[in-house]
Structure 1
Amino acid sequence: MPEQITVLVVDDHPLFRKGLRALLATMPSVDVVGEAVDGKSAVELARSLRPQLVLMDLHMPGGDGPTAIRALAAAPDGPHILVVTMFEDDDSVFAALRAGARGYVLKDTDDDEMTRAILAVGHGEAIFSAAIASRIVAFFAGRPPAEPFPGLTASERNVLQLMSRGLPNDVIAAQLQLSAKTVRNYVSNVFAKLHVASRAEAIARARDAGI
């Protein structure tokens, strides 16, 4: 029988945690020992529960992911950390890796790939989804991948990325820890810079560009 992997799930969205726990329940060698809704509580829970693996979102209220990853990775016999997030920009990827994450996958990863990533990082390996791996290879080869829509700021790009995943403004605001007004302003800027007149057009442009 394979060795059990104890897991702490860290994400501020209840529906995503529920879906992830449903997937973990299908894995006989995985035992979920707790859940946290932000980085600060994740560090506190990890000290008491001592999980082998932490599944960590990056952008959460009450303590950001990279800070929590750094604290967890620095602890004696600290857990292995797999980032599970919506963000695939270079800043997010390399901030997580520098902090000590062993793996990085996107939330829309299919169940088979997510399962492989959980088991691999749980056993101490490093693993990345295909989109993330290509960014890492390009970075170390000295060929940073060209970003689509270079006229967008980093914040506008993050908003567009979340829009392309079908999220409404209120959810985007919560995810990015911004006010609703700020998100509306970013959305207006995106429309202007992409020369589109509607959310549907902006989403179509983003998806065509691979965002």
Structure 2
Amino acid sequence: MHALSPCSVIIIDDHPLFRKGVSQLLALNDELHLIGEASSGEEGLELARALEPDLILLDLNMKGMNGIETLKALREADLAARILIITVSDAADDLVSAIRAGADGYLLKDMEPEELLERIVQAQRGRIVISERLNGLLARSLRDEAQAAERSIAPLTDREKDILACLASGLSNKLIARDLNIAEGTVKVHIKNMLKKLKFRSRLEAAVWAIDQNMRNHLPQGRNTGI
């Protein structure tokens, strides 16, 4: 995406009223440009392949192909888009499933419109976004699993710990690369190695676990931005 171009967005949600509300919300921000809507997972997958958007806003509870199935299919299609779940479900199982399937964020539909728009903008800038009241829920799930798996940061290199701290503060790969003075491609390699060592399937999962481990206190140069 060109630096001056707005972020192209598609919405996949089976509620017409919600799609209309979000489209009106997106129109309030010059950084976002809605290029398509879909009322089902099947239609959304087809639309995403055809339009290759920068950002996909995806509902979980849809008839036919549900949100998790759609999310997995979008990831298997190897699209470069960031995928943000926007749903009514605050269930721990849905939250963890979405993150493990590759979601870049998880927001609830009952958020104030202004806050929802702000989080969508943050997501398109590369930030990790998750509804605040779900942070504790996810952290508890990951903590329980970590205890069972005896997960720790011990196997990580100092550089991987730096990057994990940056993830915990919601920094994008581009910002991590700038802060650590390394190439963005190098950041991606470190993240891949780090996820493998910690047995996590997504950067969001690792970020929330790192917050629970107070990793934000280990940010390089004392930077602390917050998710």
Same fold (TM over 0.5): yes
Deviation (angstroms), 1:106: 0.5
Q: Deviation string for 1:51-89 (max 9, x for gaps)?
A: 110100001113111111112123334311110000010
Answering whether residue 50 of structure 2 is matched by residue 48 of structure 1, we say: yes
Cα distance in structure 2, aligned partners of 1:142 and 1:77 = 32
Cα distance in structure 2, aligned partners of 1:4 and 1:114 = 18
Aligned partner of 2:16 in structure 1 is 14
Aligned partner of 1:36 in structure 2 is 38
Deviation (angstroms), 1:104: 0.4
Aligned partner of 1:131 in structure 2 is 133
Taking structure 2 as the reference length, the TM-score comes to: 0.60
Aligned partner of 1:200 in structure 2 is none
Q: Is the 8 A contact 2:54 2:124 kept in 1?
A: yes
Q: Is the 8 A contact 2:14 2:39 kept in 1?
A: yes
Q: 1:79 to 1:48 in 2, by over 3 A?
A: same
- Output the aligned Cα RMSD: 1.6
Q: Is the 8 A contact 2:8 2:54 kept in 1?
A: yes
Aligned partner of 2:83 in structure 1 is 81
Cα distance in structure 2, aligned partners of 1:76 and 1:84 = 21
Identity %: 36
Q: Is the 8 A contact 1:54 1:82 kept in 2?
A: yes
Task: Report the 3-state secondary structure (helix = DSSP H, G, I; strand = E; otherwise coil) of the residue aligned with 1:141.
Answer: helix
The ranges of structure 1 where at least 4 consecutive aligned residues each deviate by more than 4 angstroms after the TM superposition are: none
Cα distance in structure 1, aligned partners of 2:93 and 2:83 = 18
Task: Report the 3-state secondary structure (helix = DSSP H, G, I; strand = E; otherwise coil) of the residue aligned with 2:73.
Answer: helix
Structure 2: stretches of 5+ with no match in the other structure: 146-227
Paired residues, what number? 143
Task: Report the 3-state secondary structure (helix = DSSP H, G, I; strand = E; otherwise coil) of the residue aligned with 2:22.
Answer: helix
